[in-house]
Amino acid sequence: MSEATSPGLDAGARYDASPMVPGDGDAFTPATEWEFFQATPLALAALRYVDMGLPITPLIPGTAELLYDMPVRDIAKVRDIWTYYPDANIGIITGYVVDVININSRAAWKDVPRGLRIIGHALTPRPDGHHLYIDTSGGGSRCIAKDLHYRGPRRWVVAPPSVLKQKPRSRFAGRYQWARELSMGHRFQGVTQ
């Protein structure tokens, strides 16, 4: 059995790169796990988040709804879940390592608490939608003001590069993306004024 170190993840993380034997004919099995992950941006992102120490949860592809109600914290589970659900969106569970300020309009910026140390900034598919990732505060989830929400313990936010698909009752569709990449080890100096 051979092992390969993955680029972009912790140098100590190792993944089995042995060829997989094809299944019973009706299931696709990649030649190597790493080849699969290289072809799946959501799986790569899920691996990266877990490697950063963030608990994540898989979301139903194209939605913000839970696929499983369980935190995922290890590489093996990420590999298993995203092997079966390669298009599963990613939810970062808040309240453990990060909390999130969810901004849903341009007007809501005036009510964002000042002095926050921002460790990541994601753009959401909603026009003027933003997620500001901050250190955990221990505070509960709450509405701060109109179109401004604090996501703390026992909540989750959809994380890049997840995609929301247009559905009959949904108003927004598109990809989540980083405006400023989440940085756990080297927190950047973004402070709200």
Which tens digit of pLDDT belongs to each residue from 2-58?
333 333 333 333 333 333 333 334 444 444 554 554 558 999 999 999 999 999 999
For residues 110 and 137, give the distance between their C-alpha atoms in angstroms, rounded to a whole number. Answer: 21
Helix (H, G, I), strand (E, B) or coil at 43: helix
Task: Flag residues of the chain having pLDDT under 70.
Answer: 1-39, 167-170, 185-193
Helix (H) or strand (E) holding 78: helix 75-84
**Residue 39: C-alpha distances to residues 6, 8, 33, 157, 171 (Å):** 13, 15, 10, 24, 30
Contact of 46 with 82, CB cutoff 8 Å: yes
Q: What's the pTM value of the predicted model, to 2 decimals?
A: 0.75
Q: Which of 127, 124, 136 is nearest to 179 (CA)?
A: 124
